[in-house]
């Protein structure tokens, strides 16, 4: 069995402060350790469920957050910025299942801890084929185009609810429950990581509980940006159409282009519009 683990940071146990997500921010180094702890719980679960290979993608920001010196040595770690498939770098059709650790709810979700979609402040909303989409749908759909089901999602309670909205009765572990965007009732990390391990071991041992996200082509990605300057800059990319003062749209039959375009547009948006706090 071959398992892909994508690890974001906002849904990691113990974290609620935007500073903990940002290199150089207060608590960031400890945040990286907690992120690695949640990842290791999922990795250990995969191997104990008889996985022969586990590939782990650092899916937060620039992809330099998971502690390479603390990660389970049995896995392969994919890290670094500007990965072509960003949060899904390393995933292909050879994998049996995907696991999403530390994921969060889409932008605008009530009580969603650190809720956003792809970027902290530059994006208001994303729609995929007319359906409002967060990172769970975007990444699960990419896995689905490869024929790879999702076996487990971990994050805050709002992220787990979103995962079930997208994937049906998929196994999910809520490690915190938001009272607002930056505040939550936490399951202490040691217990949360044990929960991730136990749920992951059980989920990866029961193929019947895996869920595949199926989105039919052609794929249309609509992004509502927070500024006209970002939308206009992204519309320079061939195939991207400006459909409103700050809204772009792109249609393709190749879902890898959807993921790749999000990465390129995020780079442009960061240069054009990011002048303050990442989640402010």
Is 116 known to be catalytic?
yes
Q: Is 104 annotated as a binding residue?
A: yes
Q: Which of 62, 109, 108 is nearest to 83 (CA)?
A: 62
Name the active-site residue from 116, 124, 127, 278: 116
Distance CA 181, CA 232 (A): 29
Q: Is 8 annotated as a binding residue?
A: yes
Strand order in the sheet with 172-180: 76-78, 53-58, 2-7, 97-103, 150-156, 172-180, 183-186
Cis peptide leading into residue 113 (ω within 30°): no
Distance CA 241, CA 238 (A): 8
Q: Is 124 annotated as a binding residue?
A: no
Distance CA 273, CA 266 (A): 10
Strand order in the sheet with 247-252: 131-132, 123-128, 219-225, 247-252, 241-244
Residue 228 and residue 245 in contact, taking contact as beta carbons nearer than 8 Å: yes
Distance CA 222, CA 202 (A): 37
Residue 197 C-alpha from the chain's centroid:
19
Produce one character per residue of 241-276: b if its CB has 16 or more CB atoms within 10 Å, e if not: eeeeebbbbbbbeebeebbbbbbebbebbeebbeee
| Residues taking part in catalysis | 116
- Residue ranges for the known binding site are 8, 10, 60, 104, 135
- Residue ranges for the known binding site for Zn(2+) are 8, 10, 60, 104, 135
């Amino acid at each position: 069995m071959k398992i892909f683990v994508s690890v974001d940071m906002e849904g990691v146990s113990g974290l609620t402060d935007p500073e903990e997500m940002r290199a150089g921010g207060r608590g960031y180094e400890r945040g990286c350790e907690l992120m690695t702890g949640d990842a290791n719980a999922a990795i250990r679960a995969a191997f104990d469920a008889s996985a022969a290979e586990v590939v782990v993608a650092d899916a937060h920001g620039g992809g330099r957050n998971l502690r390479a010196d603390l990660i389970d040595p049995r896995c392969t770690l994919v890290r670094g910025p500007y990965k072509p498939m960003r949060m899904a770098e390393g995933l292909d059709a050879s994998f049996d299942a995907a696991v999403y650790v530390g994921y969060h709810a889409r932008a605008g979700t009530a009580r969603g801890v650190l809720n956003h979609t792809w970027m902290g402040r530059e994006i208001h909303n994303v729609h995929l084929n007319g359906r409002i989409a967060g990172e769970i749908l975007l990444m699960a759909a990419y896995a689905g185009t490869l024929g790879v089901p999702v076996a487990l999602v971990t994050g805050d309670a709002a992220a787990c609810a979103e995962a079930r909205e997208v994937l049906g009765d998929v196994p999910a572990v809520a490690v915190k429950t938001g009272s607002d965007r930056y505040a939550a009732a936490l399951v202490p990390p040691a217990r949360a990581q044990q929960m991730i391990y136990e749920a992951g071991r059980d989920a990866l041992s029961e193929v019947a509980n895996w869920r595949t996200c199926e989105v039919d082509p052609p794929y249309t990605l609509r992004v509502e940006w927070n500024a006209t300057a970002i939308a206009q800059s992204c519309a320079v990319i061939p195939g991207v159409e400006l459909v409103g003062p700050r809204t772009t749209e792109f249609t393709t039959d190749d879902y890898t282009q959807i993921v790749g375009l999000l990465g390129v547009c995020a780079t442009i948006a960061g240069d054009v519009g990011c002048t303050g706090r990442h989640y402010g």
